[in-house]
């Protein structure tokens, strides 16, 4: 049974249709890579799943939680229940600036999951250790590099033991040098069996770790299949064109 | 005719005034303290209303700010001093039973001072609230925190560090502003000086003594705030990790 099911999701910003009837079923353990040109609704799709964006139309089903859109103010509680179980990693990390790495990871455990300070600390230290930042626990975000900040953000998300992790371009705000350390961390999570949805422009990486790839264009899913199918044998002209341009970057005349 | 400097200004007299004036410092500080609490509470309320752009209340708050900033504090004190009893008497004429004379003058003074300062404090708060990255708020909601929790645990503590210098100015402004309360008949240090000077007509020495006292209070307050600011500031250097990892070195 699908853990997450989106039905006919519509979202517009003013006159601009961003999501135009998205249907998506996510199975437990799926690692879904979402690719496509800029401004085609990839991030909006991700942010609609935890309702940081509020679609005007459609239905969202997550495990035993069902939300009919648009969200009514009386279902605030339901939205919060949903968010407690879906983790999100942002492009710009968004760590809490006045808290140390450790306190950042502990925050949700204490305020949302109502764990004791000691317990939260224990879990948070474990998670920081997993992303290789145990020794950085007392550092404030401003003391950390972008890559380290993103790894703390990943630890913060994992500490909540979410059922699904949404990653919204987790490496596109990083210096090229720092991308690898974050991708390595994400790969390690993927291998732990987490259900993930990942928006990224790192095509090689998506091809390697995804179990399924979506190609979005004009607010619609126009390709949906295994990485091999979507990347090597795209059905649509738009996707073929997109990948061709991507691969052309690697050809000799571009390497000066 | 021989004149000496001491005919115009006697240091001796000035020093002798200081102990008499110091006696009334508690009144000055009490007035400033109460006004500060009013300004903090009202200032924060207005700041949040304007930050969250609350319907109906937000334009009212903006109007209040404009009024407070656009009129002198002295006039506001007089309006409070004569106005609040007048309003209470109107209530009484409608059947309420409030003893207007029982309300101490202090109440008018700290309310007026507090509301005046709230207008400025609220802008300090609002700027500080807006300095918090919207992304952090989003990160908080994405992990399931309620807006109240985000406000308490993320926005306010983080904004506090940025608001403190402005709050310090506010407190200093209030301490100095209490001198106006002498016009409402409250015997704080400024009024005390007028009483003393009234006996020997040596006003200048008294006022210089007063200036010194206000200045010293201000310096002490600044020092205290510097210490508090340090507590809220994110340290330049991270603290070293004390314990060993999993019991291993």
The ipTM estimated for the assembled molecules is 0.90
Q: Which helix H or strand E contains A118, and what residues bound it? A: helix A117-130
Cβ atoms A200, A167 nearer than 8 A: yes
Those residues whose C-beta lies under 8 Å from the C-beta of residue B110, and which sit 6 or more positions away, are: B31, B34, B35, B38
Asked if residue A10 is part of any domain, the answer here is yes
- Report pLDDT for A255: 57
Give the residue among A18, A78, A91 at the shortest CA–CA distance from A51. A78
Q: Is A69 exposed, middle or buried (0-12, 13-18, 19+ CB in 10 A)?
A: buried
Q: What are phi and psi of A9, to 5 degrees?
A: -80, 125
Would you call A96 an interface residue with chain B, using a CB distance cutoff of 8 Å? yes
Alpha-carbon distance of A218 to A216, in angstroms, equals 7
A109 in B contact zone (CB under 8 Å):
no
Checking DSSP bridges between strand A2-13 and strand A16-27, what pairing results, if any? antiparallel
* Mean pLDDT (whole number) for B28-35: 94
Contact B241 A50 (CB under 8 A): no
In a domain, A69, yes or no: yes
Largest CA distance in chain B: 91
Give domain status of residue A22, yes or no: yes
Q: What domains sit in chain B, N to C, each tagged with a CATH number?
A: 34-135+144-232 (1.10.3720.10)
Residues of A with Cβ-Cβ distance to B158 under 8 angstroms: 96-98
Q: Is residue A160 in a domain?
A: no
* Inter-chain touch A108–B235, beta carbons under 8 Å: no
pLDDT, residue B248, reads 43
Query: How would you write the pLDDT of chain A (256 residues) with one tens digit per residue?
Result: 789 999 999 999 888 899 999 999 999 999 999 999 888 899 999 999 999 999 999 999 999 999 998 888 888 889 999 999 999 999 999 999 999 999 999 999 999 999 999 999 999 999 999 999 999 999 999 999 999 999 999 999 999 999 999 999 999 888 888 898 899 999 998 898 899 999 998 888 999 999 999 999 989 999 999 999 999 899 999 999 998 887 777 776 665 5
Q: Which residues of A touch B240 (CB under 8 A)?
A: 138
Indicate the pTM of the whole model: 0.82
- Tell me which residue range forms the domain holding A2: 1-26+54-73
Q: CA-based Rg of chain B, rounded to a whole angstrom?
A: 24
Whether B122 shows a pLDDT value over 60: the answer reads: yes
Q: What is the pLDDT of residues A130-158, one digit of tens each?
A: 999 999 999 999 999 999 999 999 999 99
Q: Looking at chain B, list the stretches that DSSP marks H as alpha helix, in order from N- to C-terminal side.
A: 5-8, 11-22, 25-51, 57-70, 73-93, 105-130, 134-142, 147-150, 156-177, 189-200, 203-232
| Nearest-by-CA chain A residue for B234 | A98
Q: Which residues of chain B lie closer than 8 angstroms to A160, CB-CB?
A: 143-144
Tens digit of each residue's pLDDT (9 = 90 or more) over B54-75: 889 999 999 999 999 999 989 9
Which one of B139, B149, B152, B232 makes the best mutation probe of the A interface by having the most chain A beta carbons within 10 Å? B139
Q: Identify the bridge partners of residue A223 per DSSP, sorted by sequence position.
A: A215
Count of the separate structural domains present in chain A: 1
Burial of B77 (0-12, 13-18, 19+ CB in 10 A): buried
Shortest CA gap B248–chain A (Å): 13
- What residues contact A98, with CB distance under 8 A and at least 6 apart? A140, B157, B158, B161, B234
Helix, strand, or coil here: A35?
A: strand
Residue A200 CA to residue A138 CA, distance in Å, equals 30
């Amino acid at each position: 049974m699908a853990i997450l099911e989106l039905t006919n999701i519509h979202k517009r910003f003013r006159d601009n249709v961003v999501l135009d009837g998205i249907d998506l079923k996510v199975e437990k353990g799926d690692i879904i890579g979402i690719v496509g040109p800029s401004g085609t609704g990839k991030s909006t799709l991700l942010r609609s799943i935890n309702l940081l964006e509020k679609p005007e139309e459609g239905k969202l089903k997550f495990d035993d939680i069902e939300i009919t859109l648009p969200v009514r103010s009386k279902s605030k509680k339901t939205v919060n229940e949903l968010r407690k179980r879906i983790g999100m990693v942002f492009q710009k990390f968004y760590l809490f600036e006045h808290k140390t790495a450790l306190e950042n990871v502990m925050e949700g455990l204490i305020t949302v999951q109502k764990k004791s300070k000691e317990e939260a600390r224990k879990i948070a230290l474990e998670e920081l250790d997993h992303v290789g930042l145990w020794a950085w626990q007392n550092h404030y975000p401003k003391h950390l590099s972008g890559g380290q900040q993103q790894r703390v953000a990943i630890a913060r998300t994992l500490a909540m033991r979410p059922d699904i992790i949404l990653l919204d371009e987790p490496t596109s705000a990083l210096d090229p040098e720092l991308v690898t350390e974050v991708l390595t961390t994400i790969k390690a999570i993927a291998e732990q069996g987490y259900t993930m949805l990942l928006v990224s422009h790192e095509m090689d990486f998506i091809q390697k770790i995804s179990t399924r790839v979506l190609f979005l264009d004009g607010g619609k899913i126009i390709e949906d299949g295994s990485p091999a199918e979507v990347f090597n044998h795209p059905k649509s002209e738009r996707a073929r064109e997109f990948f061709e341009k991507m691969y052309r970057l690697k050809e000799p005349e571009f390497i000066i | 005719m021989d004149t000496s400097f001491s005919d115009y200004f006697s240091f001796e007299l000035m020093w002798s005034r200081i102990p008499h004036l110091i006696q009334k410092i508690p009144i000055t500080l009490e007035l400033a303290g109460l006004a500060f609490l009013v300004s903090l509470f009202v200032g924060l309320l207005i700041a949040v209303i304007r930050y969250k752009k609350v319907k109906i209340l937000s334009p009212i708050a903006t109007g209040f700010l404009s009024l407070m900033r656009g009129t002198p504090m002295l006039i506001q004190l007089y309006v409070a001093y004569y106005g609040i009893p007048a309003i209470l008497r109107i209530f009484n004429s409608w059947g309420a039973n409030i003893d207007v004379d029982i309300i101490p003058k202090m109440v008018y003074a700290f309310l007026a001072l507090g509301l005046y300062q709230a207008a400025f404090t609220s802008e300090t708060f609002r700027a500080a609230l807006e300095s918090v990255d919207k992304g952090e708020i989003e990160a908080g909601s994405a992990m399931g925190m309620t807006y109240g929790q985000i406000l308490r645990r993320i926005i306010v503590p983080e904004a506090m560090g940025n608001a403190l210098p402005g709050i310090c100015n506010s407190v200093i402004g209030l301490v100095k502003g209490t001198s106006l309360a002498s016009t409402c008949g409250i015997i704080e240090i400024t009024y005390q000086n007028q009483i003393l000077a009234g006996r020997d007509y040596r006003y200048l020495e008294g006022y210089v003594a007063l200036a010194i006292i206000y200045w010293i209070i201000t310096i002490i307050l600044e020092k205290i705030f510097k210490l508090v600011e340090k507590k809220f500031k994110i340290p330049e250097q991270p603290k070293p990790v004390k314990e060993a990892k999993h019991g291993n070195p």
